[in-house]
Amino acid sequence: MQKTLPFDSATLQRILDEYPTPFYLYDEAGIRERMRDLVQAFSWNKGFRQYFAVKATPNPRIVSLLRDEGSGADCSSMAELVISERIGLEGESIMFTSNNTTAEEYKYALDLGAIINLDHPNLIDTLLAAGDMPKTISFRYNPGPERTGNAIIGNPQEAKFGCTRKQLLEGYKRCQELGATHFGLHTMVVSNELGVQSLLDTAQMLFDLAILIKDELGIEIKFINLGGGIGVGYRPEDDEVNLADFGAGVHQLYEKVLVPAGLSPRIFMENGRTITGPFGFLISRVINQKQTYKDYVGVDACMSNLMRPGMYGAYHHITVMGKEGQSATKSVDVVGALCENNDKLAIDRQLPEVVVGDVLVIHDAGAHGHAMGFQYNGRLRCAELLLKPDGEVEQIRRAETLEDYFATVKF
C-alpha cells in the first residue's frame, strides 16, 4: 500500500537539480489546509485558538505561515520565544509552557506578555523572581493514576510534567492571593493519539476539574487548553483522527458538562504533530548497498536527520521515486552512516528493488524530524525547503557547513 505525495517525480527532480540530498521538503498548501480544518472543527467556540507547538517544527517560516492562519505559538524554551517574537507574535498569542524553568526565561516571556502556564506551584517563586505575578496564569495538570497515557508521553505517574490535583488547587489559591485574576487550565496526557475517545476523555477530565476548581476555590477557569496529541497516520493503513468529529465531540461535552455549571471558557489547543507532520518529507538518496546476514540499503540521511525510528522504533513510510507502481520484492534495512547500530530509518521494510542513485521519500517527517536533529559523528543538519502552492520552492533553512560545526570551538 502506498501513500500519496503532494508532488510528482518531475517536480522532485527539478528540486534535486538545485538542492543536494538529504533535505526536508514541506508542503505549504497541506499545512494551511490542516490548520483551517482544525479551526473549523472548533468554530462553535468563539474564543477558540490553536497555539502551534513550535518544538515540532521550529522554523520561523513555518511558524509565520501558521500565524497568518490565526495560530499562536506554544513555546517551551527561550529560543522558541525568540522565534515567536521575531515573527511578530506577542501577548496572549504566545503560550509559555515550560518545565524546570529559569527566572531568565520567565522574564523574557513576561516581557512579551505571554500567557504563563506553570508546570508546578513550586515555580511560582521562580516566576516572582522574574517580575510581578501576571494577571493571567495557568497550570498544567498531571492526572496520575486517572489516566494511562501512551507510548510516547508515558504513564502520567512516571511523567515529569505537571502537578497533582492537590498541588493544582494550592497553586491557584496562592496565585490569586498574589494578584492573578484570570485563570487557565491545561494538560497533555497523550501524544500521537489516533483514538478520538482518548482525546475526548482528556476534555471530560479537564471540564470536570474546572467545575471542581470553581466549587473549591470560587475561581472561574477562563480558558481550557486541551493540549495537543492528535496523531498522524504514519502507516498507510492507519485511520487518522477526524477533526470535525473530534470538535463535535468536545462541543457535546462542553454543553453537557460546563454550561450547566455556569462556565463558558475559551478552548485552546497546542497541536504540532498533526499540523505539520503529514506535510513534511525527508528526501534522501541511496549511496550504498550491502548484503551480510541481512540486506542493507545505505542512504545519505541518517538518525541525526530523523531520530524517531531509532529513538521510538517509529514507522515512517518510504516511497522509492519512479518506482511507485512496482511491487515490493525485497526486505531491507534502510540505514545511515552513524557509528550507532540503531541508525536505521526502516527495519525489514518491503521495498521495490533499489539501486545506488535511487531517491527515497520518507513520509510524515514534518514534525519532530529536523527539530530533533543532532551532530553526532559531526554529521551536519540538512536544509529545509518549502514547496509553495504555485509549485515554486523556497529554501527556508540552508544546510549546515563544517564552518558552522567548528564555529564554537578553538583549535
- Write out the catalytic residue numbers: 339
Q: Which backbone phi and psi does 409 adopt, to 5 degrees?
A: -120, 160
Instruction: Give the HSE-up count for residue 402: Cα atoms under 13 Å, Cβ half-sphere.
Output: 1
- Which residue is listed with cell 533553512? 397
Q: What is the dihedral of CA 242, 244, 249, 255, to 10 degrees?
A: 170
Burial code of 29-48, b = ≥16 C-beta within 10 A, e = fewer?
ebbbebbeebbebbeebeeb
What does DSSP assign to residue 193?
Answer: B
Torsion of CA 36, 229, 89, 183, to 10 degrees: 110
Number of other CB atoms surrounding residue 177 within 10 Å: 9
| Three-state SS at 91 | helix
Handedness of CA 51, 52, 56, 57 (dihedral sign): negative
Alpha helix segments (H runs only) across 283-396: 308-312
